[in-house]
């Protein structure tokens, strides 16, 4: 190839043998383009160096900016991770505290249940002991209660008969046609029964009958045909005697048990 930087070694050489010094003209004719080309190469090299330096600086700046951006993101990620770790540590500590509290509460509750179980066992043992002690009394109670229920049935039958007699007596008292001596005879029979009947005597019916005969003067209207609408005090006494019979039944049972 032609070496443009070494003009003496050009491949195109004028014929030095030509007349009139024509070789000098060829030399000058080629020198001008070569100088222009050399100047162009020098300018192009200089501009290229500037562009290269410019691009290199731009690349360096981009690299620095990219590195700074990466470092900022790295620090942001590190900070976020640290905050997350701190938050998780706090939550973990809270959960551990709650777990500890629950465990302590369960242990305390378990101890309380054990104590309550022991207390219930002692109470149960006490109840069973009392039950074994009361078993003979239970037999006595049931036996005596059966006897007293027989007495109660007799007393209720007696009260029913007395109630019917009192209703008849009050009906005679309220009647305008029935003779007075019939009522007096009925009252006498009731007082005699109250004196001789053991159940009536136990209920102290004589005093109540006397009170009825003296003070129960209530009668229904004149056309009344229902005996139960006559009298007031007598019905109160009959209810009272029924309650006394029930009360005496249990008192007699209680007395029999206490005597054992």
- Residue 46: predicted pLDDT: 73
Token pair of 132, please?
């074994």
Please state, in angstroms and rounded to a whole number, the distance separating the CA atoms of residues 9 and 3.
Answer: 7
Return the closest-CA partner of residue 186 out of 174, 172, 198: 172
SS3 of residue 226 by DSSP: coil
- Cβ atoms of 165 and 186 within 8 Å: the answer is yes
- Cβ atoms of 155 and 203 within 8 Å: the answer is yes
Asked which of 23-37, 108-122, 210-224 is least confident by mean pLDDT, the reply is 23-37
pTM for the whole structure:
0.47
**Angle at 66 (CA atoms; ends 64, 68), nearest 5 degrees:** 65
SS3 of residue 100 by DSSP: helix
DSSP 178: S
Please state, in angstroms and rounded to a whole number, the distance separating the CA atoms of residues 140 and 145.
Answer: 8
202-212 pLDDT per residue, tens:
888 999 999 99
Backbone φ and ψ for 183, nearest 5 degrees, come out as -65, -45
19-41 pLDDT per residue, tens:
445 555 556 666 667 776 777 67
Residue with more model confidence, 107 or 147: 107
H helices of the chain, in order, are 22-174, 180-196, 198-203, 205-215, 233-258
């Amino acid at each position: 190839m032609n070496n443009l930087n070494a003009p003496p070694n050009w491949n195109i050489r004028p014929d030095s043998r030509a007349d009139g010094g024509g070789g000098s003209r060829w030399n000058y004719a080629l020198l001008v383009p070569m100088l222009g080309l050399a100047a162009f190469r020098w300018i192009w090299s200089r501009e290229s160096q500037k562009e290269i330096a410019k691009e290199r600086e731009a690349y360096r700046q981009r690299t620095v900016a990219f590195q700074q951006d990466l470092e900022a993101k790295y620090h942001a990620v590190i900070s976020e991770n640290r905050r997350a770790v701190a938050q998780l540590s706090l939550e973990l500590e809270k959960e551990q505290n709650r777990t500890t509290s629950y465990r302590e509460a369960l242990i305390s509750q378990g101890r309380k249940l054990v104590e309550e179980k022991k207390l219930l066992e002692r109470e149960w043992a006490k109840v069973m002991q009392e039950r074994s002690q009361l078993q003979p009394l239970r037999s006595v109670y049931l036996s005596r209660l059966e006897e007293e229920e027989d007495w109660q049935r007799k007393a209720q039958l007696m009260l029913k008969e007395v109630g019917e007699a009192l209703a008849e007596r009050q009906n005679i008292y309220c009647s305008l046609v029935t003779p007075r001596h019939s009522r007096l005879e009925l009252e006498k029979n009731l007082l005699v029964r109250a004196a001789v009947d053991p159940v009536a005597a136990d209920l102290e019916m004589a005093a109540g009958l006397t009170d009825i005969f003296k003070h129960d003067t209530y009668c229904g209207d004149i056309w009344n045909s229902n005996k139960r609408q006559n009298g007031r005090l007598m019905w109160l006494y009959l209810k009272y005697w029924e309650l006394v019979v029930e009360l005496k039944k249990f008192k007699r049972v209680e007395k029999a048990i206490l005597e054992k």
